[in-house]
């Protein structure tokens, strides 16, 4: 739950800055928050996940381009690029290298049959492809305002992600196998002098 709040906080600040000022101030806020999150993790000695690095690099590049060119198109592309990169990593690792990234990340927390690991990876990749495409529709179709896109980016995508994750958890519950307990030290019987 803490991680979800940690990841959600910059989105809220982005939206607040957008409402108070404009998309360019909000973009500065998003860049600053992403960089500060990395620094916070570093100072606390916590591991910095690859997703954190990807997010900060993409927001600095696309947000920086938005600010430099004074064009909101770049920042609107940022969620799509991030989601499609996640999908590409999941699909590419599985199809080209026969590796399941999710299994590598979660194998210590749960056991699943191989085919379920593969389906889990594929459904998450599908979700990220869908999320990226949906962002493009909201950002560029002409049916939505910039304000509606900002709200969708901050809250709509987060709600969709949570709903999808809950659905995946329910589905996984049917396929989970018991994780064997790691053997601890074996207590030897005490020696007696008889």
Give the percent of the chain with pLDDT over 90. 68
- Indicate the average pLDDT of the chain: 88
Mean pLDDT calculated for residue range 172-192: 56
192 has pLDDT over 80: no
Q: Does residue 65 lie in a domain region?
A: yes
Q: Does residue 90 lie in a domain region?
A: yes
pLDDT of 134 = 98
Query: Is the pTM for the entire model greater than 0.75?
Result: yes
Angle at 149 between CA 153 and CA 125, to 5 degrees: 45
Report helix, strand or coil for 36: helix
Containing structural domain, residue 155: 2-173
183 has pLDDT over 60: no
176 has pLDDT over 90: no
Q: Does residue 96 lie in a domain region?
A: yes
Measured N-to-C along each axis, helices 50-58 and 23-43 cross at an angle, to the nearest 10 degrees, of: 150
Domain total of the chain: 1
Q: Does residue 67 lie in a domain region?
A: yes
């Amino acid at each position: 739950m803490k991680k979800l709040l940690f990841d959600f906080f910059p989105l809220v600040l982005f939206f607040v800055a957008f409402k108070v000022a404009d998309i360019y101030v909000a973009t500065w806020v998003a860049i600053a928050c992403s960089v500060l999150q990395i620094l916070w993790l570093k100072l606390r000695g916590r591991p910095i996940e690859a997703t954190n690095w990807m997010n900060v690099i993409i927001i600095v590049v696309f947000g920086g381009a938005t600010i430099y060119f004074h064009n909101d198109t770049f920042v609107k592309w940022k969620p799509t690029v991030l989601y499609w990169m996640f999908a590409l990593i999941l699909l590419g690792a599985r199809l080209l290298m026969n590796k399941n990234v999710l299994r590598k990340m979660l194998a210590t927390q749960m056991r699943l049959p191989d085919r379920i690991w593969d389906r889990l990876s594929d459904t998450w990749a599908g979700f990220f492809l869908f999320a990226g495409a949906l962002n493009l529709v909201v950002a560029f179709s002409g049916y939505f305002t910039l304000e509606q896109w900002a709200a969708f980016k901050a809250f709509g995508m987060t709600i969709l992600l949570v709903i999808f994750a809950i659905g995946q958890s329910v589905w996984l519950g049917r396929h989970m196998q018991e994780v064997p307990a790691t053997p601890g030290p074996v207590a030897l019987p005490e020696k007696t002098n008889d």
